[in-house]
Structure 1
Amino acid sequence: MNVEHEVSLLVEQIHRLGTRDLDGKLKVKFGVLFHDDQCANLFEAMVGTLKAAKRKKILTYGTELLLQGVHDDIDIVLLQE
């Protein structure tokens, strides 16, 4: 799969699993994405897809690196719908 397609799939999954914060931005915890069965089947390298989407300013999160377990409570915030 190409990166653009994987990023669009990731955005769909954030819409499915996320909630809106007080500012109206859609967000989801990294652990929720990482442990979701549907996401596990879609993404071979979810962290890489998240990094690509962050570089394109489609989403953001508050750390440089995402590690399962350690960063499960980090919010992934969608910047572009």
Structure 2
Amino acid sequence: MEEMCLIIKEVGVQGRDGKIRVTFGRLFDRYVRISDKVVGILLRARKHGYLDFEGEMLWQGVHDNVIITLLE
């Protein structure tokens, strides 16, 4: 989960509120090279309060424009 947060910081964009955001599609393209368990890690990180996104599940292609927000 910590590695996921570091990648979001690296590829994401900081908003006016100071939070870093990235789309699922961009994150998937970057992170899939490291691990094929992207969605599972995202769900676990959300459960632990590291990040937030809408919906219960993310699917490549279908949810590429869903915004993932880093909360820490």
Calculate the TM-score normalised by the size of structure 2: 0.94
- Indicate the residue corresponding to 1:3 in structure 2: none
Calculate the TM-score normalised by the size of structure 1: 0.84
- Indicate the residue corresponding to 1:44 in structure 2: 36
Q: Percent identity?
A: 35
CA–CA separation in structure 1 for the residues paired with 2:63 and 2:44: 18
* Structure 2 portions without partners, runs of 5+: none
User: Runs of 4+ in structure 1 displaced over 3 angstroms?
Assistant: none
Q: Which of structures 1 and 2 has the bigger CA Rg? A: 1
CA–CA separation in structure 2 for the residues paired with 1:32 and 1:21: 16
Cα RMSD for the two superposed structures: 0.8
Residue correspondences, number: 72
